[in-house]
Amino acid sequence: MISNNNLFSPKSKSFKNTFCVFNEINVKQIENLALSYKSESGSQYFYTEIGMYRFSNHWGRLANSKWRLIALEPESTSKTKLGFADWTHFYPDNNHELLYYLEADFINNTITYQHKSNPDYDKKAILRTSVETTKRIKQARNILILSNWAKYFEYKNIDELRFSIINELIFSNKTLEEIKKQYI
């Protein structure tokens, strides 16, 4: 466990307009840490020299930032979760730059978005603005989860069709309509 003794404190507004992915960890990790900040909504923040612990019951869009939590497996039943993120994992966010790309996990049937500064970004997925990313992720999730869209297609395996369409949504600038026309 790390003791912070309130020796480290980031500058105010350091987290404004940021994107970050936190990893859920066991609450015991903050037993010896002093609370650094408590928000009006009740989220608790513990700052250390290497990163931030956030204990909260809400994740995702937070005021002017996008902070996502990757849950433990198996996922804990508690609504309030503790997440940790290294300071180097906070990336700038705005509405006009091409900052985001989509990432599909076909094993777990999930589509997420990532920041271009993510060290895992291989520069193959198309970068988009926040608005474009939101639109694409909704389209990709609908293809992944729903099946009513597929009744107009001739296919042998809907999962293969999903895979092909979603990959085109991720790796091309074609519209969903253009992509679907290829498979009719």
The whole-number pLDDT of residue 1 equals 42
| Residue 138, SS3 per DSSP | helix
pLDDT tier at 13, thresholds 50, 70, 90 = confident
The more confident residue out of 10 and 134 is: 134
Structure tokens at 52: 């931030």
The whole-number pLDDT of residue 7 equals 57
Structure tokens at 122: 């291989």
Q: How far apart are CA 98 and CA 132, in angstroms?
A: 9
State the DSSP code for 135: H
| Residue 149, SS3 per DSSP | helix
pLDDT tier at 12, thresholds 50, 70, 90 = low
Residue 52's φ and ψ, nearest 5 degrees, are -120, 140
pLDDT tier at 147, thresholds 50, 70, 90 = very high
Statement: residue 6 has pLDDT above 80? no
| Rama region for 91: left / alpha / beta (φ>0; ψ in -120 to 50; rest) | beta
Statement: residue 120 has pLDDT above 60? yes
Structure tokens at 162: 């999903």
Statement: residue 3 has pLDDT above 50? no
Structure tokens at 48: 């250390």
Q: How far apart are CA 110 and CA 70, in angstroms?
A: 12
Q: What is the mean pLDDT of the chain?
A: 92
pLDDT in tens, 75-106: 878 899 999 999 999 999 999 999 999 999 99
